[in-house]
Structure formats: C-alpha cells, structure tokens
Structure 1
C-alpha cells in the first residue's frame, strides 16, 4: 500500500510507531533509521517512498537542519516531522521549509492515524491545538484586541467573505484541492483567492499568512461579519 521511513534514534519509539502504521495502514512497508545518515542511505536505495517521518533530534543532525538537507537531497520525497517539540514557531518554520506535516509524539493513536491518512492523501497536516496557542510575543491570558493589533485587523477586513473562508481552511491545513471541494469552487479559483490573500496580508507564503492571521483578530473579524 504505502512505503514509509521512520527516522528516530529511540528503538522503542520506532517499534511503537511501526506497529501503529502497520495496524492502521495494512499492507504498508515501514523502514527504520536510527540516524540521519541511515535515513539518507535508506532513501538512496528505495525509489518509491510515500512519506519520511523525521525526528528533529537525531544523533548526527539537530533541529531543522535535517529537514533542510533532506529537502535538498530528496526534494521528491514528502517529509513530515515527528517530534516531542511542540513550539508553534518550529512547526511553522518546518512547514515553510517544505514539510508536509508536523506530528507531535504526544499525538493519540487515532489522531496520528488520521493525520497520516491526511498527509498520504495529499494534504498538509497542522496540529490545530498547537496552532491555536498564542504567540510567545503575546501574553497567553490576554489575546490582542483590535486596538492592540490594528494592522492585522485592517488587513483581515480587506478580505472578501470568500477569501476569509479560504483563509480559515488554510489555517486548518487544507490543500487547494480540499478547499475547492469544501467550498464547491474550482481549484484554479482557490489559487486566485490564495494569491489575493497573500497580497492583501502583505506576506509571501501560506505559512506567513497563518502567522499574520492572528486567531484572536480572525475570530473577531468573522464575528463582526456574522452580526
């Protein structure tokens, strides 16, 4: 069915994730690598890998450097991060570098399988509970009000209702194809909306749009439109 490579230096965790994949995705082949060098060697001899699951702290590479090198060496292989780290900035940086998903190691088994199916189905997976957390630059107990963050609010107000719907789905990690299906519009129309959203928010990528669309401001803007 699928071929996946799990790169993690903890054998017990590799065994656990392999068991989850094989039970939830019957017929799938799971290869294991205990370091970054072993991951590269595995990908070099396997022509068809559907997904590589990469830990951020391998013995021979740390942080997002492994992802950068992997994207340079094997740009055709989809890579998802599987890590104990759950920092919002790290997650968004990983997606900016080309990761197709970010799976915290604390993810419950059913949610993990759902995320893997989403990724293998061609969508990007974002851990919504982590992305809902306020930025470290803002007090967690007091999300910014419109007065505190007028720039974000003004930019969001410039979006049309349909663009707001597209942006909301972007934040959930939906691909253009999924957005088109959800909103019953053509995929080319989705691309046009995304381009307009990036332009109006003054950003260059989807990840930057997620960062720009502070959740408190987005919720406030959506609420005003409904009233």
Structure 2
C-alpha cells in the first residue's frame, strides 16, 4: 500500500529528516511538505487521500494546541501525529487530550516514526513510553469545551489569543465584523466565561513553550536505525 503523508514543520532540515524517515520506514510513500499552518490547511483541502499528518506544534500559525484542535475539527477522520522536541508526559497527555492520534519525540529513532504512522493509519493510538501524568479535571474540562467549538470559532479564538480586535479577525477571515461578534458570543458561552479577557486566558492555556531553535549548522545524521530525528532540529 502506498501512503501519502503530510510533513508539517517550519525548519527545512527537520522536514528533510522527517521525509527521509518516512521514506526509510514506508518505502514508496509520498510526502507533501508544509512550513506553516495555513499551508497545512491548503494542502489538506487541495490534495485528496492524505493518510496522516506529521505535525510540529510550533510552526507559524499554530497558536499552540488551537491549531491541533482546528485540524481535528476540520478533518476528523485524518490521523494527526505530533512530532515534537517537547516529550515530557504533560505535553504528550495534552496533545492526546486535544485530539492527536499519536505522539513521536524528535529524539526517537526512525523505526519508531514508522511504527507510529502505521499504528495510527490502522486506527490505533501511538504514544511513547512516558511517566504517567493524569492531569487535572480542569484540564480535561477545558479540552472538552474547546473541542466543542467549530472551525470558524476556533479561528476567532486564535485571534483573541493573539490580542486582535474583532475587525482585524474579520478582515483575516474574510467575513463581516458582526459575524465575528456572533462567534465571540458563542465562544464565551461555551467556554463558560463572560469576557474576551477571560477567553484569552483560557486560550493562553493552550499555548506551549517554544523549544530551542536548532543551530544554523544542524544537519540530519544517519544512524544504524536510520535518520535520528533529534539530530535534525528540536
């Protein structure tokens, strides 16, 4: 079977490493590249039958976990595998709570990525062995509330998180300001808050600390197991 995998990361070296890892693990697979979240959405709308997305959490336009939730809302049947340098138990758990089908640390060997892709395409969930982190009931409640928002409402929430005015959000979305105001009203109700400021605070909880950028001379390095993702970028 030939797979079609969307590789989404803003670092060219990391994309190259991921493409090589896909090629080594899944011979004959086709890869599509994206360097920002808007390119991910465009590719998924324009290219049929994408089997899985390898998603970096920190590319431009992601707005933390909001981007992940938006993808799950727009393409509910599409497996999304987060590939991240942040591999602590809390980050893994939050990604799974917000809809990821799998999580692969960038420190993982190439065969681990192949295992994850195959597993999620087969309908399973794939996570690395990490210490348990149960998370609070409040965390789960926020995840459930955010997951109930529509794609357009999630875009508005992302704008609120960035401190944008309704007219700015409306311009970027190509809608009238009254439409944004209507979305804001629904967002406040579904999040259980009464102001944009409170909504922004909730949205801020979906943000993630950005990992250290790779050194300018960083380079993917082949190992006995294939391309070690951790050597390409973080």
> Same-fold call, TM > 0.5?
yes
Q: Is the 8 A contact 2:68 2:98 kept in 1?
A: yes
Q: Is the 8 A contact 1:88 1:135 kept in 2?
A: no
C-alpha RMSD over aligned residues: 1.9
Q: Distance in 1 between matches of 2:33 and 2:101?
A: 19
Determine which structure has more spread, i.e. the larger CA radius of gyration.
1
Q: Distance in 2 between matches of 1:23 and 1:36?
A: 26
Counterpart residue number, 2:62: 61
Q: Distance in 1 between matches of 2:80 and 2:135?
A: 26
Counterpart residue number, 2:98: 97
Q: What's the secondary structure of 1:53's corresponding residue? A: strand
Q: Distance in 2 between matches of 1:24 and 1:125?
A: 16
TM-score (normalised: structure 2): 0.54
Counterpart residue number, 1:29: 30
Question: How far does residue 92 in structure 1 lie from its aligned partner after superposition?
Answer: 1.4
Q: What's the secondary structure of 1:81's corresponding residue? A: strand
Residues 57, 27 of structure 1: alpha-carbon distance in 2 compared, 3 angstrom cutoff: same
TM-score (normalised: structure 1): 0.55
Q: Distance in 1 between matches of 2:109 and 2:70?
A: 29
Q: How many residues align?
A: 135
Question: How far does residue 60 in structure 1 lie from its aligned partner after superposition?
Answer: 1.8
* Residue ranges of structure 1 left out of the alignment (5+ in a row): 138-227
Q: Is the 8 A contact 1:37 1:60 kept in 2?
A: yes
Q: Distance in 2 between matches of 1:120 and 1:41?
A: 21
* Residue ranges of structure 2 left out of the alignment (5+ in a row): 137-234
Q: Distance in 2 between matches of 1:34 and 1:134?
A: 31
- Greater fraction helix: 1
Q: What's the secondary structure of 1:62's corresponding residue? A: coil
Question: How far does residue 134 in structure 1 lie from its aligned partner after superposition?
Answer: 6.4
* More contact order relative to length (CA 8 Å, sep ≥ 6): 2
Q: Distance in 1 between matches of 2:72 and 2:55?
A: 12
